[in-house]
């Protein structure tokens, strides 16, 4: 397939063409030519007018739940991939909290075989503990040899410090990466939202920032003791940013990501008891949001993820304290992040958080936009404003908190594996 993108501006910090306006010819999934505007004359299957648009490496998401196997009524691998494409993602790290969990070689191979021909690269993570029970280590090395790069119990928190230490020591031997969701559930019984003035006013049981920060302190101490690397997934508090900043300054091998929900929304959204804003980690305060943005600025926080957690109507439209945590969000992740961050971070920095940093964390190739490189690309219109409608959500579940809201920055096309997808 031949595709010509005309007069497009590059947003690729690793590329020699960064911020330049060029014509780009894609042939059979490879960037064949990059030339001055108007200088490529080829008969193409598709010609795209890129004037005023930006071309960047394909986005990668470090935290998605595709629910297959076991809960395909909420999401399956194919519907999840379609939602990812709609949001501009050409790669996603799929969490292992399915039923049964992704905790052995055959489960990793199942995910790979189901998605190998799809435009989206689905990278399966393996569970850290057997059956996500937090008691015994899973078959981590077998899963690593099958293609798993990350081991995590997702939001089934590893409360046992000894098990976390063994996981850090064991994975270090073969290059696996441990992802920790920092949440000390023993501090909280049936917490519903961030503990603060708003939770008190609403009469809802709160989840204190301390529950996250204590676990970060513990896991940083374990990682330092083991001389192992650790990644903190979806941090949400000012204190967490401070702890990770200090750890990086000490030279610890630590990285972190933040959910777009925690930089675009605050706990004030819960005033209407809308369960689509009931997420884990909970939405925090304006002070926390400001600290998270500062953490993105100085690279304390490496990446931004969607924390895509699709839930069906039955689990969301019920009494608030019974509703499940989680929000669907792949289709709106970039636009919501850009809308929240455009006055605080450069566009180069925002793009880095969606492209370069996630690939570095996963240890996968960072594709430059250059001739002969694979065409793993996302085409965006940064100036376009759009109002999110339910029909824009391609996930099987519709629990997206941005529906009816106007966002800036629209994904138009994604390219990967000699395939093209139009988001419009």
Residues in CB range of 201: below 8 A, 6 or more apart: none
CB burial of 375-384 (b: ≥16 within 10 Å; e: otherwise) equals: bbbbbbbbeb
Q: With cut-offs at 50, 70 and 90, classify the pLDDT of residue 42.
A: confident
As given in the structure block, the two tokens for residue 198 are 């708003």
Residue 139: pLDDT above 80? yes
As given in the structure block, the two tokens for residue 199 are 């939770």
Alpha carbon separation from 221 to 42, 166, 229, 386 (Å, rounded): 58, 13, 11, 45
Model pLDDT for residues 68-96, shown as the tens digit of each residue: 999 999 999 999 999 999 999 999 999 99
- The pLDDT score that the predictor gives to residue 410 is 98
- The pLDDT score that the predictor gives to residue 41 is 86
- The pLDDT score that the predictor gives to residue 274 is 96
Claim to verify: residue 154 and residue 273 sit in the same structural domain: yes
Instruction: Report the C-alpha gap between 257 and 62 in whole angstroms.
Output: 8
Residue closest to 304 by CA, chosen among 59, 55, 140: 59
Instruction: Report the C-alpha gap between 94 and 97 in whole angstroms.
Output: 9
Least confident of 44-48, 184-188, 365-369: 365-369
Q: With cut-offs at 50, 70 and 90, classify the pLDDT of residue 368.
A: confident
Claim to verify: residue 50 and residue 62 sit in the same structural domain: no
Q: Are 2 and 27 in contact (CB under 8 A)?
A: yes
Catalytic pick among 61, 294, 307, 418: 307
Model pLDDT for residues 312-322, shown as the tens digit of each residue: 999 999 999 99
Its domain, for residue 30, covers 2-55+371-389+406-422
Instruction: Report the C-alpha gap between 31 and 27 in whole angstroms.
Output: 6
Model pLDDT for residues 263-303, shown as the tens digit of each residue: 999 999 999 999 999 999 999 999 999 999 999 999 999 99
Claim to verify: residue 8 and residue 74 sit in the same structural domain: no
Instruction: Report the C-alpha gap between 407 and 165 in whole angstroms.
Output: 42
Least confident of 54-63, 187-196, 384-393: 187-196
Claim to verify: residue 13 and residue 154 sit in the same structural domain: no
Q: With cut-offs at 50, 70 and 90, classify the pLDDT of residue 365.
A: confident
Residue 397 domain-assigned (yes or no): no
Q: What CATH number is attached to the domain comprising 356?
A: 3.20.20.140
Residue 401 domain-assigned (yes or no): no
Q: What CATH number is attached to the domain comprising 39?
A: 2.30.40.10
Instruction: Report the C-alpha gap between 136 and 129 in whole angstroms.
Output: 5
Mean pLDDT of 131-155: 96
Model pLDDT for residues 319-354, shown as the tens digit of each residue: 999 999 999 999 999 999 999 999 999 999 999 999
- The pLDDT score that the predictor gives to residue 54 is 98
Based on its alpha-carbon atoms, the radius of gyration of the chain, rounded to whole angstroms, reads 21
3-class SS string, 249-306:
HHCCCEEEEEEHHHHHCCHHHHHHCCHHHCCCCCCCCHHHHHHHHHHHHCCCCCEEEC
- Is 418 among the catalytic positions? no
Claim to verify: residue 8 and residue 125 sit in the same structural domain: no
| Mean model confidence pLDDT for the chain | 96
Q: With cut-offs at 50, 70 and 90, classify the pLDDT of residue 366.
A: confident
Claim to verify: residue 80 and residue 29 sit in the same structural domain: no
Mean pLDDT of 408-422: 97
Claim to verify: residue 350 and residue 378 sit in the same structural domain: no
Q: With cut-offs at 50, 70 and 90, classify the pLDDT of residue 45.
A: very high
- The pLDDT score that the predictor gives to residue 157 is 92
Residue 396 domain-assigned (yes or no): no
Claim to verify: residue 305 and residue 417 sit in the same structural domain: no
Claim to verify: residue 141 and residue 240 sit in the same structural domain: yes
Q: Are 149 and 124 in contact (CB under 8 A)?
A: no
pLDDT above 70 covers what percent of the chain? 100
The tally of domains found in the chain comes to 2
Claim to verify: residue 150 and residue 83 sit in the same structural domain: yes
Name which residue leads in pLDDT, 187 or 359: 359
- The pLDDT score that the predictor gives to residue 399 is 97
As given in the structure block, the two tokens for residue 1 are 């397939």
Q: What angle do CA 188, 192, 197 make, to 5 degrees?
A: 95
Q: With cut-offs at 50, 70 and 90, classify the pLDDT of residue 188.
A: confident
Q: What angle do CA 418, 421, 422 make, to 5 degrees?
A: 145
Q: With cut-offs at 50, 70 and 90, classify the pLDDT of residue 250.
A: very high
Claim to verify: residue 26 and residue 135 sit in the same structural domain: no
* The overall pTM is greater than 0.75: yes
Mean pLDDT of 229-241: 98
Claim to verify: residue 241 and residue 379 sit in the same structural domain: no
């Amino acid at each position: 397939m031949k595709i010509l993108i005309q007069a497009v501006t590059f947003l690729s910090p690793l590329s020699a063409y960064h911020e330049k306006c060029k014509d780009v010819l894609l042939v059979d999934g490879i960037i064949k030519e990059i030339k001055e505007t108007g200088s490529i004359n080829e008969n193409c299957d598709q010609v795209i007018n890129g004037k005023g648009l930006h071309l960047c490496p394909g986005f990668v998401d470090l935290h998605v739940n595709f629910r297959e196997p076991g809960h395909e009524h909420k999401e399956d691998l194919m519907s999840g991939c379609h939602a990812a494409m709609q949001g501009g993602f050409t790669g996603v790290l799929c969490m292992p909290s399915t039923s049964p969990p992704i905790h052995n070689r055959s489960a990793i191979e199942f995910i790979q075989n189901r998605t190998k021909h799809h435009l989206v690269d689905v990278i399966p993570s393996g569970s850290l503990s057997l059956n996500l029970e937090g008691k015994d280590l899973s078959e981590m090395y077998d899963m690593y040899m099958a293609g798993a790069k990350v081991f995590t119990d997702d939001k089934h928190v590893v409360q046992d410090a000894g098990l976390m230490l063994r996981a850090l020591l064991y994975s270090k031997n073969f290059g696996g990466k441990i992802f920790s969701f920092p949440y000390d559930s023993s501090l909280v019984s049936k917490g519903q939202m961030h503990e603060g003035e708003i939770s008190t006013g609403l009469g809802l049981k709160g989840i204190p920032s301390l529950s996250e920060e204590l676990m970060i302190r513990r896991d940083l101490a374990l990682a330092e003791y083991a001389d192992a690397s650790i990644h903190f997934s979806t941090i949400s508090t000012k204190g967490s940013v401070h702890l990770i900043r200090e750890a990086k300054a000490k030279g610890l091998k630590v990285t972190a990501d933040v959910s777009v929900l925690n930089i675009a929304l605050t706990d004030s959204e819960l005033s209407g008891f809308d369960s689509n804003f009931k997420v884990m980690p909970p939405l925090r305060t304006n002070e926390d949001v400001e600290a998270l943005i500062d953490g993105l600025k100085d690279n304390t926080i490496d990446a931004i993820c969607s924390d895509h957690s699709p839930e069906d109507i039955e689990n969301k439209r019920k009494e608030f304290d019974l509703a499940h945590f989680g929000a669907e969000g792949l289709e709106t992740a970039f636009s919501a992040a850009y809308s929240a961050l455009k006055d605080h971070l450069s566009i180069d920095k925002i793009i880095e958080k969606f492209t370069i940093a996630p690939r570095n964390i996963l240890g996968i190739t960072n594709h430059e936009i250059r001739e002969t490189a694979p065409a793993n690309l996302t085409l965006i219109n940064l100036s376009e404003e759009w109002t999110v409608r339910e029909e824009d959500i391609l996930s099987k579940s519709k629990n997206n908190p941005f529906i009816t809201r106007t966002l800036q920055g629209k994904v138009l096309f994604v390219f990967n594996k000699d395939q093209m997808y139009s988001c419009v």
